[in-house]
Chain A
């Protein structure tokens, strides 16, 4: 036990002193998240250019338009439907809100007023953000309006009925989508780069041989290295989640224990893959190349940054052959959609299976020199 702790302590110390590795392990994923989150998630909401078509042109609709204009997040462009739709497809507008004829009429009759939001399907993230924001704003305006016009109205849904068009689903924000992906990505790079490169280096330098002439058993040596790497992965995951929560208020619905389980499972499985690379490659160069050859396609094809739905079908098939896809998928479903582990059993099976197979192969192929 004392040996274990000493070794783990030394490993952590070494990692801590390796500033470049620290950058890749901690700062890079964090920067990636902050960057992607800011570009696609947050600044957009302060910059939604909204086309408004007021077909009803009544007291109620006019004051809705006026209210929308006072909200900083929206840049309002008024006009006719055809012109605005052209602008939407040109990418100059994020969405168009059409307040249908008879809007005020319906409200006065205690029925919801009809409104339609048009969004550009080809940029799903922008459209999702816009429609979510608009729904919320319309709701708030609705409540305020209701109190003036119809004092006994209850809530927003009673006042305004918004029909979304060309919108796929839910109130998923891009940050919520991308954070589990980056988390999975980080577990992968930590596992692949952390263990495999240091191991190959140990071997190249003859450190493994020096360890071998001591009575320390291989299992304990490997075990401490793996545990140290796991601890690093967990610290990374915690930092990512904390920053994600503090900056973007990412919406974590899932059971924390399930999330922790998935993170450990992912980290361990990719460590095993890294260990396998370390066992089969001879030099640091080839180990680096092998790791990159594995990480790069996975980084871009596994749906970390964008949903597989927007990939051409043949690429989506490839993605489903990559273990990172399953880890990202499981983390997303559990973290964001609050699903249980049973609902992501396939993901767990694939990720865990890969880990076990890699570990057994690595042990079999392990060489001291």
Chain B
């Protein structure tokens, strides 16, 4: 049985269809990412699964239980980190976790959770004394307070600097080791690529693609980019004839070509350099990313 089974989920706000017929499954113990630009409907989708919002149509099953009928049971087994992460100002970190723990029938010890998220040294700090990253960590600790089987993280790293973001990633990786099912939303491509076993890409309330990051790239954007410089420069047409090259862009910095057979093209570049008495250097290759996939499908960048 999948951890989460969503079928034809719908939610409208007035005339806006925030979630427009979304279906997907999250397998047990996987890290599942919902990737998309702001306003794509990621959070609304998540909140309907979390029992925070009533769906207009469709069905959501969490471990086989319908969110409309078993909200209370579902709440006991899920852990939720919401986007807004401000809590009671006048409680310490320890007291906050302890208080939220008392809402559940199963609860972990606050000290254990503080260790999980690396906040032991802030145990007795007031919430309003914490930095943005520390707030996020408290909210993740709160999402784990009932030792849930399924954890929802809604944009856990938005607004954090890269170093702090890495720290959060480590915490999420650690959840995999604890055999949690994790659903994470993000508009950071590299986050989804780094953390997620499978990804659903969402745009305008619909899922436009889903699969493992590698599958998506293979399916939608199989080509690689190779950039290099030739001295002296050669004609663009010569570069275009190199094996496997699909397109060429040239500029002051040299050439950028796309290819689906990068190894053959690399050999071809050296061959062309040799034949034209030119030196090839500053060669670099980049595999397509989910960003390219998104660009390919929608014609836009995710972070517009």
How far is the CB of A72 from the nearest CB of chain B, in Å? 50
Q: Is the CB of A215 within 8 A of B88?
A: no
**CB pair A210 B90 closer than 8 Å:** no
- For A164-198 the 0/1 string (1 means CB < 8 A from B) is 00000000000000000000000000000000000
Cα–Cα distance between A262 and B82 once the two chains are bound (Å): 42
A13 on interface, CB distance cutoff 8 Å: yes
**Please, which residues of chain B bring their CB within 8 A of the CB of A206?**
82-86
Bitwise interface map of B from 234 to 246 toward A, beta carbon under 8 Å scored 1, else 0: 0000000000000
Nearest B residue to A18, CB-CB: B90
Given A210-B142, A214-B75, are A205 and B86 neighbors across the interface (CB < 8 Å)? yes
Stretch of A2-10, A253-261, A304-312, A320-328 lying at the B interface: A2-10
B100 at the interface (CB under 8 A from A): yes
**Chain A residues with CB under 8 A of B50:** 213
Give the distance in Å from the alpha carbon of A189 to the alpha carbon of B184 in the complex: 44
The docked-state distance in angstroms from the alpha carbon of A216 to that of B76 is 10
Interface 1/0 per residue, B96-118 and A, CB below 8 Å: 00111011110000000000000
Q: Collect the chain B residues with CB atoms within 8 Å of residue A214's CB.
A: 75, 100, 103-104, 146
A3-B103, A214-B75 known; A13 and B91 CB under 8 Å? yes
- Indicate if the CB atoms of B99 and A10 lie closer than 8 Å: yes
A205 touches which one: B84, B102, B104 (CB < 8 A)? B84
CA distance A210 to B88 in the complex (A): 11
Chain B facing A: main interface SS = loop
Q: Which residues of B contact A15 (CB under 8 A)?
A: 90
Q: Which chain A residue has the least Cβ–Cβ distance from B145?
A: A214
Residues of A close to B191: CB separation below 8 A? none
CB-CB under 8 A from B87, the residues of chain A are 205, 207, 210
Closest to B81 in A: A210
Asked whether B197 is an interface residue with its Cβ less than 8 Å from the other chain, the reply is: no
Task: Kindly identify which residue among A18, A207, A209, A216 contacts B103, using a CB–CB cutoff of 8 Å.
Answer: A216
A interface SS class: helix
Bound form: Cα–Cα A209–B78 in Å:
15
Q: Are A215 and B102 in contact (CB under 8 A)?
A: no
Q: How far is the CA of A18 from the CA of B83 in the complex (A)?
A: 26
Interfacial chain A residues near B76, Cβ < 8 Å: 215
* Cα of A15 to Cα of B76 in the assembled complex, Å: 29
User: Is B88's CB under 8 angstroms from A2's CB?
Assistant: no
Whether B52 contacts A212 by the Cβ 8 Å rule is yes
In the bound assembly, the distance between CA atoms of A14 and B82 in angstroms comes to 22
A364 within 8 Å of B (CB atoms): no
**A-facing mask of B38-67, CB < 8 A → 1, else 0?**
000000000000111000000000000000
Residues of the A chain whose Cβ atoms lie less than 8 Å from the Cβ of B99: 6-7, 10
B84 engages A215 (CB within 8 Å) = no
Interface size of A by Cβ–Cβ distance < 8 Å? 21
Are B104 and A215 in contact (CB-based, < 8 A)? yes
Contacts of A3 in B (CB 8 A): 102-103
Which residue of A has the minimal Cβ distance to B95?
A10
Q: Does B226 contact A (CB under 8 A)?
A: no
- Residues of chain B within 8 A (CB-CB) of A209 are 52, 82, 84
Chain A residues with CB under 8 Å of B84's CB are 205-206, 209
Most buried by A among B87, B103, B126: B103
Q: B217 on the interface (CB 8 Å rule)?
A: no
Q: CB distance B91 to A14 under 8 Å?
A: yes
Chain A residue with Cβ nearest B126: A17
Is the CB of A211 closer than 8 A to any CB of chain B?
yes
Complex: A205 Cα to B91 Cα, angstroms: 15
Q: For the complex, give the distance between the alpha carbons of A209 and B139 in Å.
A: 13
Known: A6-B98, A14-B91. A211 touches B86 (CB 8 A): no
Are B86 and A207 in contact, CB atoms less than 8 angstroms apart?
Answer: yes
Closest to B72 in A: A215
CB-defined contacts of B52 to chain A, threshold 8 Å:
209, 212-213
Asked whether B80 is an interface residue with its Cβ less than 8 Å from the other chain, the reply is: yes
Do A14 and B88 touch across chains, with their CB atoms under 8 A apart? yes
Q: Quick one: CB contact mask for A200-234 with B, threshold 8 Å, 1 for yes?
A: 00000111011111111000000000000000000
Identify the interface centre among B100, B102, B142: most chain A CB within 10 Å of its CB: B102
In the complex, A3→B142 CA distance in Å?
16
For B95, the chain A residues whose CB sits under 8 A away are: 10, 13
Query: Considering only CB atoms, which chain A residue lies closest to B51 in the complex?
Result: A213
Whether B88 pairs with A10 at a CB distance below 8 angstroms is yes
Say whether A13 contacts B90, CB under 8 Å: yes
Interface core residue of B82, B98, B142 (most chain A CB under 10 Å): B82
A213 to B78, CA, bound (A): 9
Excluding A6-B98, A207-B88, 8 further A-B contacts by CB distance (< 8 Å) are A2-B102, A14-B88, A17-B126, A18-B90, A214-B146, A215-B72, A215-B75, A216-B103
Q: Would you mind naming 13 contact pairs between A and B with Cβ atoms under 8 Å apart? A: A7-B102, A206-B85, A207-B86, A209-B52, A209-B82, A210-B87, A211-B103, A213-B78, A213-B82, A214-B104, A215-B75, A215-B76, A216-B103
3 smallest beta-carbon distances between A and B, as pairs: A206-B84, A216-B103, A214-B103
